[in-house]
């Protein structure tokens, strides 16, 4: 069983990041450099919902679909679909991709949502990424599985937006993933921030050196920036998340989609109360093995600093209780077992 990070590393007294030099270091008071920097800066005003509505008003009714909503069946993306249809009266196209690791619970959530909302729906199933995932794991690379996957799915999102003439791509990214203006045209996590530097370096190394003998990935983008540059030449679309603008907490919008769409939590999840693909467990395991923390620690630490999540709740959400049987079942899809990740 994978141990909780709190049992392995000293945790910042303000957020939930462990001390991992040289990028995350603590002062004498036990507070990390990321929190110190945050506390020393002036607070950036959050976006207002009126800003979001102005963008939507410019796009509504001018295309085949007003927006493409990337909906995995998790609470955040399902709520995003619900709000786009019911709160903002947009005409969305729901889009789900399955790279072979989406859970049956999550897919069931999507099907219920699109049926109850009466929206059009596209489901895309592919094994395209499996060889890359297997190489990444079997080679003991320190690349973070979720990073190349995010490049792939954002590229796929732009292609689908172009195919169905959607001017907006709506994701379920939360305030913990980003509230920065530049993210409205890129992705949920900024890999250039301090907490991601080590992860980003190893992921870049993998993409630059490990795909040359895999012809199916000849044209795979090596960075998110490269993907965006190509995608924007094919189709102009803005990427947004309603969660950046709305005042609802996750518990509040979960209640909304439970009551209105019959949404349910999946059987297994990490972090607690999350819904991610099953490969996420392997990505989390490897990130803990290689770095001592995951991108979820970064996201929740950001929420703690912003005052929207308590430190105790974040630590509870990040408690890791999955075991070798679960990991073996997931790795078996790639013809691997837990020996590959030890």
In angstroms, the CA 29 to CA 90 distance is 49
Report the percentage of the chain scoring pLDDT > 70: 91
H-helix segments, 185-309:
197-209, 224-234, 250-261, 279-291, 295-306
**Contact present, 145 and 279 (Cβ < 8 Å):** yes
- Nearest partner of 196 among 218, 220, 178, judged by Cα: 178
* Position 182 pLDDT exceeds 70: no
CA distance 218 to 211: 7
CA distance 236 to 151: 17
Q: Are 300 and 34 in contact (CB under 8 A)?
A: no
The architecture that CATH gives domain 49-244 is 3-Layer(aba) Sandwich (3.40)
Per-residue pLDDT for 1 more than 50? no
| Residue 257 CB contacts under 8 Å (≥ 6 apart), including other chains | 75, 78, 79, 82, 113, 263
pLDDT at residue 116 is higher than 90: yes
- Quick one: pLDDT band at residue 183, thresholds 50, 70, 90? very low
- pLDDT tens-place string over residues 298-307: 989 988 998 8
Handedness of CA 103, 317, 3, 295 (dihedral sign): positive
């Amino acid at each position: 069983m994978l141990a909780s990070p709190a049992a392995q590393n000293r945790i910042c007294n303000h957020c939930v990041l462990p001390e991992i030099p040289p990028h995350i270091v603590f002062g004498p008071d036990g507070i990390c450099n990321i929190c110190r920097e945050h506390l020393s800066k002036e607070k950036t005003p959050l976006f207002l919902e009126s800003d979001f509505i102005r963008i939507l008003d410019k796009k509504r009714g001018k295309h085949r679909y007003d927006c493409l909503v990337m909906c995995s069946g998790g609470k955040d993306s399902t709520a995003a679909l619900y709000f786009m249809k019911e709160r903002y009266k947009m005409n969305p196209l729901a889009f789900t991709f399955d790279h072979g690791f989406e859970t049956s619970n999550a897919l069931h959530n999507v099907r219920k949502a699109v049926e109850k909302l009466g929206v059009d729906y596209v489901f895309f199933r592919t094994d395209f990424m499996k060889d890359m995932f297997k190489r990444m794991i079997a080679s003991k690379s320190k690349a973070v599985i979720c990073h190349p996957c995010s490049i792939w799915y954002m590229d796929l999102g732009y292609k689908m937006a172009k195919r169905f003439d959607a001017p907006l791509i709506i994701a379920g990214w939360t305030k913990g993933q980003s509230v920065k203006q530049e993210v409205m045209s890129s992705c949920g996590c900024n890999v250039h921030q301090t907490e991601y530097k080590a992860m980003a370096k190893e992921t870049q190394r993998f993409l630059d050196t490990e795909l040359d003998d895999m012809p199916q990935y000849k044209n795979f983008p090596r960075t998110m920036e490269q993907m965006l540059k190509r995608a924007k030449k094919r189709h102009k679309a803005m990427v947004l998340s309603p969660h950046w603008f709305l005042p609802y907490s996750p518990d509040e919008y979960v209640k909304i989609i439970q009551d209105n769409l019959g949404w349910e939590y999946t059987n297994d999840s990490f972090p607690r109360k999350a819904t991610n693909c099953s490969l996420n467990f392997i990505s989390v395991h490897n990130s803990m093995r290689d770095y001592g923390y995951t991108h979820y620690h970064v996201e929740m630490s950001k929420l703690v600093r912003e005052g929207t999540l308590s430190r105790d709740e974040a630590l509870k959400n990040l408690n890791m209780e999955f075991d070798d049987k679960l990991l073996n079942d997931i790795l078996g899809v790639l013809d691997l077992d837990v020996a590959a990740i030890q």
